[in-house]
Amino acid sequence: MNKKWRPSRMKYNWNNAIYGHVKASIHGQLTEPFINLCVKRNIAIWDIKRRNKTTIVCSLYIKDISKIKQLLKQTDCKIRFIDKKGFPFFMRRLLNRTGIIVGLICAILIITFLSNVVWRIDVKGADPRLETKIRQLLKQQHLKVGAINFVVPSTEVIETNLSAKLPKVTWIGVSKDGTTYHIDVVQKKLPKKQKVTRPRHLVAAKKAIIHRLFVEKGQPMVQDDQFVKKGQLLVSGIIGNENDPKFISSKGQVFGETWYQTTTKVPLNTTYETFSGQEYTKHYLKINKWKCPIWGFLNTSYKHEKKDSVEKPIHFLFWDLPLSYVKETHRQVNQSKRAISPKQALKEGEQAARRQLKSKLPSKSEIASSTVESKKVKKGILYLQHHFIVYENIAVPKSINTKKERAKLKKKAEKENQNQQ
């Protein structure tokens, strides 16, 4: 037999390191039959070397050790282990050194903890006085240097709270980058001087009946109680005579009577929910999609409840781990049924229709009156159709082409002179 025999299917690969293998010495008179039996039983054996007539050295997987015991008996051979390699043996040696394991675990926990602590808060776009106020408000929301990310609200909640408490701020944005929070602020500025506008008319944006006029600049072309169509001239930006016209930027407001129709539906029987004040909290460690309960899992759920969930990812240095901390708050709700009469539903429907219409109207608009055009009850729902009369500003600017207007006025003046002659 050759000194080295390595069948292709028994070549060394990385599985050896993962599953672990041993280097063993086989001693006996029938070492070659032992090898043949291993091949027949699909037992991997490699790095075979003969030391003498009765001894060979080879490598075997740990998982195959139990299989070769019977083969050793059949061939009357004995085995002695020389070396042990691979991950299982590495872990066994590591477990025997508890100091290293404890130190490694502590180092990982400390780094993970420090990676989930707020180390810096940058505030940009705010003057020193406003920046101080913003940092005070952030402390009230548990956002400060040294705070743990798990107790800090989400960036959306922080934005909402800061916007509500800082009316002098036009816009505020909160973002998180690793262990740093960025607060971007746009402060309100004094209104700029109005730019000089080009010559223009004021025309009707929609059909209406003129209610009242407030003209600051320009020549009024309509009067109260006059019906106007969409695009009709309301205030002219041309003043002076036809021979020497002047073009100005008309300015003013023209309120007209306009008309709207709305459709509203009001359920006669409704179910609404109110919070009872009872609640409990559950804490989880989420690993991918699997949640491992940490605290509060013994609490029994309410019959009717609403659940709010906040998830905080766990970081390790600059990497996002497939781990996150989840806090679930369960609030008990009481369900109540409410039945209203058609008369009450009619009143609530009109209020809802007014709110709906006001949200669409321009500022300074006024709802003059409303009438119910139709009403019907179908499957426990009251359907209402309202007609509203509204006073709103219908004036919109329209630019003046001065060259064309001069040409028109010149032609008009020439025709008048010819007619006079």
**Same domain, residue pair 10 and 134:** no
To the nearest whole percent, how much of the chain has pLDDT over 90?
24
Check whether 192 has a pLDDT greater than 70: no
**Confidence band for 271, pLDDT divided at 50, 70 and 90:** confident
**Confidence band for 191, pLDDT divided at 50, 70 and 90:** low
Does residue 398 form part of some domain?
yes
Residue with tokens 């309100």: 188
**Same domain, residue pair 174 and 225:** no
Q: What is the pLDDT of residue 210?
A: 93
User: For the residues 71-97, what does the mean pLDDT come to?
Assistant: 84
Q: What percent of the residues of the chain are helix, what percent strand, and what percent coil, each to the nearest 5?
A: 30, 45, 25
**Same domain, residue pair 300 and 323:** yes
Residue 179 belongs to what domain range?
120-187
**Confidence band for 189, pLDDT divided at 50, 70 and 90:** low
pTM above 0.85, yes or no: no
**Confidence band for 169, pLDDT divided at 50, 70 and 90:** confident
**Same domain, residue pair 390 and 258:** yes
Does residue 281 form part of some domain?
yes
**Same domain, residue pair 83 and 205:** no
By the 10 Å C-beta count (0-12 exposed, 13-18 middle, 19+ buried), 108 is classed as exposed
Domain boundary among the residues 73, 91, 109 is at 91
**Confidence band for 10, pLDDT divided at 50, 70 and 90:** very low
d(CA 254, CA 178): 56
d(CA 176, CA 376): 54
Q: What is the pLDDT of residue 275?
A: 85
Does residue 199 form part of some domain?
yes
Check whether 367 has a pLDDT greater than 80: yes
Q: What is the pLDDT of residues 216-246, one digit of tens each?
A: 998 899 999 999 999 999 998 888 777 778 8
Residue with tokens 């709010």: 308
Q: Which two tokens stand for residue 115?
A: 């990676």
Between 78 and 403, the higher pLDDT residue: 78
Q: What is the pLDDT of residue 274?
A: 84
User: What CATH number has the domain bearing residue 46?
Assistant: 3.30.70.250
Check whether 378 has a pLDDT greater than 90: no
Torsion angle, CA of 21/25/29/35, rounded to 10 degrees?
A: 20
**Same domain, residue pair 258 and 344:** yes
Check whether 371 has a pLDDT greater than 80: yes
Domain boundary among the residues 136, 160, 187 is at 187
Ramachandran class of 296: left when φ > 0, alpha when ψ lies in -120 to 50, beta otherwise: left
User: For the residues 361-378, what does the mean pLDDT come to?
Assistant: 89
Q: What is the pLDDT of residue 196?
A: 59
Residues contacting residue 175 through CB under 8 Å, at least 6 positions apart = 155, 181, 182, 184
Does residue 100 form part of some domain?
no
Does residue 280 form part of some domain?
yes
Separation of CA 314 from chain center: 18
User: Across the chain, what does the average pLDDT equal?
Assistant: 85
d(CA 346, CA 369): 16
Residues contacting residue 333 through CB under 8 Å, at least 6 positions apart = 273, 274, 275, 276, 302, 304, 305, 306
**Same domain, residue pair 379 and 241:** yes
Q: What is the pLDDT of residue 16?
A: 64
Does residue 32 form part of some domain?
yes
Domain boundary among the residues 187, 222, 243 is at 187
Check whether 13 has a pLDDT greater than 90: no
Q: What is the pLDDT of residue 386?
A: 92
**Same domain, residue pair 382 and 356:** yes
Q: Which two tokens stand for residue 31?
A: 């070492």
Check whether 51 has a pLDDT greater than 70: yes
**Same domain, residue pair 251 and 344:** yes
Provide DSSP, 365-398: -EEEEEEEEEEEEETTEEEEEEEEEEEEE-EEEE
User: For the residues 300-306, what does the mean pLDDT come to?
Assistant: 84
Between 256 and 270, the higher pLDDT residue: 256
Q: Which amino acid is at 333?
A: V
Q: Which two tokens stand for residue 206?
A: 């929609």
d(CA 412, CA 241): 11
**Same domain, residue pair 218 and 367:** yes
Coil, strand or helix at 19: helix
To the nearest whole percent, how much of the chain has pLDDT over 70?
93
Does residue 111 form part of some domain?
no
Q: What is the pLDDT of residue 421?
A: 61
Return the top range by mean pLDDT from 125-129, 257-261, 322-326. Answer: 257-261
Q: Which amino acid is at 290?
A: W
User: For the residues 381-388, what does the mean pLDDT come to?
Assistant: 92
Q: What is the pLDDT of residue 108?
A: 86
Which of 63, 2, 83 is closest to 35 using CA atoms?
2
User: For the residues 80-103, what does the mean pLDDT come to?
Assistant: 81
CA distances from 137 to 124, 130, 153, 174 (A): 15, 11, 13, 13
Does residue 319 form part of some domain?
yes
User: What CATH number has the domain bearing residue 165?
Assistant: 3.10.20.310
**Same domain, residue pair 370 and 390:** yes
**Same domain, residue pair 198 and 321:** no
Separation of CA 145 from chain center: 25
Check whether 3 has a pLDDT greater than 50: no
Domains in the chain: how many in total? 4
Residue with tokens 């240095």: 317
Between 326 and 415, the higher pLDDT residue: 326
